[in-house]
């Protein structure tokens, strides 16, 4: 067994993904309509949003972890539900939209 090593300090990641939030969730973000976060995958971005705005994850995901059925997340215009869902990579410079399903007809 090799000797324990001190982990390299993680370099701070520059927020580089623009996340647009629906009006219904802006009470949680202090009325900010959009937030800049670090790149990653959708899951880590939701975790970062929840850390900044506690409770936001439960708005988006059920206790079991999956995205709520009427919540859609688009990364650069593509709905992650039809791709890798929460594992979808979100590169620096991407734009992420959180939108609920259409209602009313």
Partner 1 sequence: MASSDSTALRSGETVVLLGTKRGLFTVRSRDRVNWECAPTTLAGTRVYNAALDQRGGRRRIYAADNGDFFGTFLRYSDDFGQTWQEPERGIQFPEESGLKLENIWTIVPGRPSEPDVVYVGVDPASLWVSEDAGVTWSLNEGLAQHPTRKDWQPGAGGLCLHTIVPDYADPQRMWVGISAVGCVRTDDGGKTWQFKNKNTRAGFQPDIYPEYGQCLHRMIQHPTQTNTLYQQNHCGVYRSDDAGDNWTDIQRDLPSEFGFPIALDPGHPDTVFTIVEDEGRNNFGKQFTVYRTRDGGEQWESLTEGLPGGGNVRLGVLRHGMATDSHDPCGVYVGTNTGQLFASADGGESWHVAADFLPSIYSVNVAVIE
Q: Which residues bind partner 1 (CB under 8 A)?
A: 24-25, 55, 58-60, 62-65, 68, 70-71, 100-101, 103
Among residues 36, 14, 34, the alpha carbon closest in space to that of 26 is found at 34
Would you say 2 or 64 has its CB closer to partner 1?
Answer: 64
**What single string gives the DSSP state of each residue in 20-85?**
E--GGGTTTTTT-SEEEE--EEHHHHHHHHHHHSTTHHHHHB-TTSSBPTTEEEEETTEEGGGTTG
The Cα–Cα gap between 91 and 45 comes to: 11
Q: Report the nearest approach of partner 1 to the CB of residue 22 (Å).
A: 8
Q: Report the nearest approach of partner 1 to the CB of residue 58 (Å).
A: 5
Would you say 54 or 83 has its CB closer to partner 1?
Answer: 54
Q: Report the nearest approach of partner 1 to the CB of residue 61 (Å).
A: 9
Would you say 37 or 67 has its CB closer to partner 1?
Answer: 67
């Amino acid at each position: 067994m090799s000797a324990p090593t001190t982990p390299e300090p993680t370099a701070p990641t520059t927020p580089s993904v623009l996340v647009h939030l629906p009006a219904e969730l802006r009470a949680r973000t202090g009325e900010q309509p959009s937030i800049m976060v670090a790149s990653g995958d959708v899951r880590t971005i939701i975790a970062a949003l929840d850390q900044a705005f506690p409770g936001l994850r439960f708005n988006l995901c059920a206790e079991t972890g999956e995205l709520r059925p009427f919540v859609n997340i688009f990364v650069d215009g593509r709905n992650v539900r039809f791709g890798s869902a929460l594992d979808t990579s979100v590169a620096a410079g991407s734009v992420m939209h959180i939108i609920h399903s259409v209602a009313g007809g």
